[in-house]
Amino acid sequence: MTNEQALAIIAAYGADVRRWPAAEAGDVLACMAADPVVAAAHAEAGALDALLADWAGTAVPLLPLDGAALVPAAVVVPARPLRRWLAGGALAAAGAAALVLMLPMPAAMPAGSKAAPLVAAATAGSDAEGFAQIFTPTVDEDELI
């Protein structure tokens, strides 16, 4: 075993030999005896283990766990009658229809409005003309580019 491997085991498992992998424990102890750097790392790990043990303090007793307390109670949602549901859908459909009927028709827009190119494109003879009218920038848009 190399010193780097022994240092890695000490860094990973701490100073307590009982936590080391059983197959490498003897080799790590041999490296500690042969190299003072590994022995110093072991002493440093022992100090860290002691500090962590003091910090952890006494173990907190575990209370019995009531599994029923973790599951939320079933929420009862009152069933809505089908008639109410259909009435809500009908109201939404009527509102949408009224909105569509209130929108201005494309032919009713004045020629000087900003939507005029869109109207002209919609009524243009070919797709290419419509595309050019919609996607060709105006003078104001051209200045921004």
Q: So what's the pLDDT on residue 121?
A: 47
> What pLDDT, on the 0 to 100 scale, is given for residue 42?
94
CA 130, CA 132: separation in Å to the nearest integer? 5
Q: For residue 103, what pLDDT is reported? A: 73
Distances (CA, A) of 84 to 3, 8, 77, 79: 79, 71, 15, 10
How far, in Å, CA of 134 to CA of 138, rounded? 10
pLDDT tens sequence across 66-117: 666 666 666 666 666 666 667 777 888 888 888 777 776 655 555 555 555 5
How sure is the predictor about 144, in pLDDT bands with cuts at 50, 70 and 90?
Answer: confident
Q: Which two tokens stand for residue 110?
A: 């004045």
Q: Is residue 49 within 8 Å of 14, Cβ to Cβ? A: yes
pLDDT tens-place string over residues 1-44: 899 999 999 999 999 988 899 899 999 999 999 999 999 999 99
Residue range 112-139, pLDDT digits in tens: 555 555 555 455 456 677 677 677 777 7
Torsion sign (Cα): 42, 7, 17, 36 = negative
